[in-house]
Each structure stands twice: as C-alpha cells, then as structure tokens.
Amino acid sequence: MSVGILAHLLGGLPYRQLAEKVAACDFPYVQLALSKAIADVDFSLGKMSPGLANEVGGAFADNRVKIAVLGCYASLIELDDESYRYNVNRFKEHLRHARHFGAPIVATEVGVPTDLARLPQHWERLNQALEELVEEAERWGVTIGLEAAQGHLIESTDALAATLDRFPSSCMGVVLDPCNLMNSNNFDHQDEIMETAFRLLGPRIVSAHAKDMKRGENGEVTGTAAGLGELHYSLFWKRLELYKPRGFVTLEDVSETQLASASRFVREGREAAR
C-alpha cells in the first residue's frame, strides 16, 4: 500500500530538484501546491500554460513520481470583489491545466470567513464560485476536491455533505482529513465523527490526508505526525479501504526527520486494514 506527501513539506525548491527529493524519500505521488512547493517558476495568475505544466509534470514523471493532486489554496468566499474574482480565476486556471501536470484532482479548503455577521454572504460567494468551478471541471474532465477544516466556512461533515448535495456533479469530491473535523471539544467522540464522515461522504472521497492529534496536559489537542498521536487510525483505515480501497493518502504535518516512520505507519496500517 502506498502513501504520498504534500510536496511543500520538503521545502520550496526548483521543480526538478523537488521531484528528485520526493523520489529519494520513496514517495510515489504528491499533492503539489505549485506556489508553495516550487521556487523557480512564477505561477501567478495568467502565467500557466500547457507547455509549462507539461515541463513540471514531466520532471516528476521522469522520477517516477505522480502528481495525484494539485493543491490550489484559494479562498472562494471573499467578499471583496477583486479578491474573489482573482481566486476563482486562479482555481479555474488550475483546472484547465491539471491534465498537463498529470493530475486528476484540484483540491482546496474553501476559506475562512472574515465577517461572522455576514455568513450568508460568504455562503452566497461560495455557491457562486462552485457553480463556475463545477462547469469548468466538467469541461476539462478534472475533479474538484473540497476539504473541510476547522475555522473555515466548511468545517464539518454536515456542511461539506450539504455542499455536495447542492452540487451533485461527478466532478465534485472530498479530500478527507479526519483531524480537520476534530477539536478539543469533540476529540473524545472521534469514532462517531469518523463513522459519520464515511457514512455521509464516503462515496465522494477522492483523496485523504494523514496526520495525528493528541491531548496535552491542559486538555487542548495539538497536531503531530501520523502515528505519534491518539487518533483511532485502525478505524479510519478500515473505513477508508472499505469505501475507497487503494486511494490516495498523503502525509501532512510531518517533519523531514519523521518521514520514514510516518510513511511506514500509514503503509502498514492500510495493509492491515485490507
């Protein structure tokens, strides 16, 4: 069973050097956030082209590393018109060029509300953005991967499931990170949270993230590398292999010194769950 990594965890590097480093660390695929991970190319809006995407994707392919997911961390709920339009257009650009990178998925968290008193307007922005992005994704045959995250407009399983119901396109899917659904108040109910997530989102999962959480002396939960915390990964692996066997899983929140142990933990856990 395989495991990948968020490429920028290895540092912002020239793309050929980054591809070589990923391969040297024995990862067969990455989630690649272009502007975070690649230091020698300008990926600002309007600069991307099929040739550039093919060049970068080819460097990873030459090292037998697949780009499983393009990460496009763009807030889709901005109330400022200029910022909103920039972010939506940037995501569209990723969707148009994903196939040239060799990536089937473009993923994002949707954004953190800047004005809690204007949540309906933030939701309106998100729905407007997704209408455009779903149309673009369907045009180019690419999947949008939405990820719930604490503090974001979509921070819970229910909110993500409701969004998927509004946009039933086969080009809309879920990047599932169980830790992103938990906090200090609900961590003791993690089995219930994971079971609910798979029940509501399981058929739409397109990728998963692997990190961990543990409680401190004051009761607060903090993040750590997969295998070093208290997440009930045996349950997570069983459900993941039931719903999406051999799907993409990428490491997150891990240092370079923890790579070997975290990747082994994921591979062995997934294999045991088969």
How would residue 170 be classed by pLDDT, with cut points 50, 70 and 90? very high
Residue-wise pLDDT for 228-244, tens only, equals 999 999 999 999 999 99
Q: What is the CATH number of the domain that holds 53?
A: 3.20.20.150
> Does the pLDDT of residue 88 top 80, yes or no?
yes
- The model carries a pTM of 0.96
What pLDDT does 274 receive? 85
Query: What's the mean pLDDT in 15-41?
Result: 97
Q: 7 or 274, which is more confident?
A: 7
Greater model confidence, 218 or 4: 4
pLDDT at 216 over 90: no
Query: Domain total for the chain?
Result: 1
Domain containing residue 267: 4-273
**How much is the mean pLDDT over the chain?**
96
pLDDT classification of 217: cutoffs 50, 70, 90: confident
Average pLDDT over residues 118-132: 97
pLDDT at position 218? 87
Mean pLDDT over 161-190 rounds to: 96
Residue 266 has pLDDT above 90, yes or no: yes
- pLDDT band of residue 33 (cuts 50, 70, 90) is very high
**pLDDT of res. 91:** 98
- Average pLDDT in the 251-265 region? 96
Average pLDDT over residues 213-227: 92
Reply yes or no on whether the pLDDT at 1 is more than 90. no
Position 72 scores a pLDDT of 96
Core vs surface per residue 149-158: b (16+ CB within 10 A) or e: beebbbbbbe
Per-residue pLDDT, 57: 98
Percentage of the chain with pLDDT > 70? 100
Amino acid 28: pLDDT: 97
The distance between the two most distant Cα atoms of the chain, rounded to a whole number of Å, is 53
